[in-house]
Amino acid sequence: MLIRLEGLPEMNFSPQEMQAGMAVWEKWVDGIIARDILVSRGNRLSNDGRTIRDGKVVTNGPFVEIKEILGGYLIIRANSIDEAANIAKTAPIVGSGSIEIRGLYAGK
Protein backbone atom coordinates (compact mmCIF):
# COMPACT_ATOMS: atom_id res chain seq x y z
CA MET A 1 0.00 0.00 0.00
CA LEU A 2 1.54 3.28 -1.12
CA ILE A 3 0.07 6.19 0.81
CA ARG A 4 -0.14 9.28 -1.39
CA LEU A 5 -0.94 12.65 0.16
CA GLU A 6 -1.61 16.10 -1.20
CA GLY A 7 0.98 17.57 1.15
CA LEU A 8 2.17 16.59 4.58
CA PRO A 9 -0.76 16.58 7.04
CA GLU A 10 1.10 18.58 9.68
CA MET A 11 1.19 21.50 7.24
CA ASN A 12 -2.63 21.65 7.19
CA PHE A 13 -3.65 20.62 10.70
CA SER A 14 -3.09 21.88 14.21
CA PRO A 15 -1.04 19.60 16.49
CA GLN A 16 -4.27 18.49 18.19
CA GLU A 17 -5.98 17.67 14.88
CA MET A 18 -2.86 15.84 13.72
CA GLN A 19 -2.70 13.80 16.92
CA ALA A 20 -6.40 12.86 16.65
CA GLY A 21 -6.00 11.86 13.00
CA MET A 22 -2.91 9.79 13.69
CA ALA A 23 -4.68 8.04 16.60
CA VAL A 24 -7.39 6.89 14.15
CA TRP A 25 -4.70 5.72 11.69
CA GLU A 26 -2.80 3.86 14.43
CA LYS A 27 -6.01 2.14 15.56
CA TRP A 28 -6.55 0.98 11.97
CA VAL A 29 -2.95 -0.32 11.74
CA ASP A 30 -3.44 -2.11 15.10
CA GLY A 31 -6.38 -3.92 13.46
CA ILE A 32 -4.09 -5.02 10.60
CA ILE A 33 -1.58 -6.28 13.18
CA ALA A 34 -4.33 -8.14 15.07
CA ARG A 35 -5.31 -9.94 11.83
CA ASP A 36 -1.66 -11.03 11.47
CA ILE A 37 -1.41 -9.71 7.91
CA LEU A 38 1.08 -6.87 8.47
CA VAL A 39 4.44 -7.69 6.92
CA SER A 40 6.06 -4.25 7.34
CA ARG A 41 4.89 -0.89 8.64
CA GLY A 42 7.32 0.77 6.28
CA ASN A 43 8.56 4.21 7.16
CA ARG A 44 7.15 7.66 6.73
CA LEU A 45 8.74 9.37 3.77
CA SER A 46 9.63 13.05 3.58
CA ASN A 47 8.51 15.26 0.70
CA ASP A 48 12.13 16.10 -0.14
CA GLY A 49 13.77 13.83 -2.67
CA ARG A 50 15.57 13.58 -5.99
CA THR A 51 14.66 11.88 -9.24
CA ILE A 52 17.41 10.64 -11.54
CA ARG A 53 16.40 10.23 -15.17
CA ASP A 54 18.48 8.56 -17.84
CA GLY A 55 21.19 8.03 -15.22
CA LYS A 56 22.32 11.67 -15.44
CA VAL A 57 19.60 14.25 -14.98
CA VAL A 58 18.83 14.97 -11.32
CA THR A 59 15.72 16.95 -10.42
CA ASN A 60 14.38 17.97 -7.03
CA GLY A 61 11.48 16.01 -5.64
CA PRO A 62 10.31 12.56 -6.49
CA PHE A 63 7.44 13.82 -8.69
CA VAL A 64 8.07 17.44 -9.59
CA GLU A 65 5.18 17.61 -12.03
CA ILE A 66 2.46 16.69 -9.50
CA LYS A 67 1.43 18.03 -6.11
CA GLU A 68 0.91 14.64 -4.51
CA ILE A 69 3.69 13.11 -2.43
CA LEU A 70 4.38 9.55 -1.41
CA GLY A 71 3.97 9.85 2.36
CA GLY A 72 4.65 6.26 3.36
CA TYR A 73 3.86 2.64 2.77
CA LEU A 74 2.64 -0.57 4.40
CA ILE A 75 3.28 -4.11 3.27
CA ILE A 76 0.50 -6.55 4.05
CA ARG A 77 -0.17 -10.20 3.31
CA ALA A 78 -3.22 -10.76 1.07
CA ASN A 79 -4.41 -13.57 -1.18
CA SER A 80 -5.09 -11.23 -4.09
CA ILE A 81 -4.81 -7.61 -5.21
CA ASP A 82 -8.59 -7.33 -4.74
CA GLU A 83 -8.34 -8.51 -1.15
CA ALA A 84 -5.60 -5.94 -0.51
CA ALA A 85 -7.75 -3.22 -2.10
CA ASN A 86 -10.69 -4.14 0.12
CA ILE A 87 -8.44 -3.87 3.18
CA ALA A 88 -7.10 -0.51 1.98
CA LYS A 89 -10.66 0.81 1.48
CA THR A 90 -11.11 0.75 5.25
CA ALA A 91 -8.03 2.90 5.91
CA PRO A 92 -8.53 6.38 7.35
CA ILE A 93 -6.45 8.86 5.39
CA VAL A 94 -5.15 11.76 7.46
CA GLY A 95 -5.69 14.73 5.19
CA SER A 96 -6.40 14.39 1.50
CA GLY A 97 -4.89 11.66 -0.61
CA SER A 98 -5.14 8.09 -1.85
CA ILE A 99 -3.75 4.62 -1.35
CA GLU A 100 -2.22 2.76 -4.27
CA ILE A 101 -2.07 -1.03 -4.12
CA ARG A 102 0.81 -2.90 -5.71
CA GLY A 103 1.90 -6.51 -5.55
CA LEU A 104 5.41 -7.58 -4.66
CA TYR A 105 7.26 -10.16 -6.69
CA ALA A 106 8.76 -12.88 -4.54
CA GLY A 107 11.90 -14.48 -5.80
CA LYS A 108 14.34 -13.60 -8.55
Q: What one-character DSSP code corresponds to residue 95?
A: S
pLDDT, residue 53, reads 72
pLDDT, residue 28, reads 93
Q: Class of 2-100 per CATH?
A: alpha beta
On the CB side of 76, how many CA atoms lie within 13 Å of its CA?
Answer: 28
2 φψ region: left (φ > 0), alpha (ψ -120 to 50), beta (else) = beta
pLDDT, residue 64, reads 47
Q: DSSP assignment of 3-22, as one string?
A: EEESS-GGGTS-HHHHHHHH
Over residues 19-49, the pLDDT tens digits come to 888 898 899 999 999 999 999 988 777 667 7
pLDDT, residue 63, reads 53
Over residues 47-93, the pLDDT tens digits come to 677 777 776 777 666 554 556 677 789 999 999 999 999 999 898 87
pTM exceeds 0.75: no
Please tell me the distance from the alpha carbon of residue 75 to that of residue 64, in angstroms, as a whole number: 26
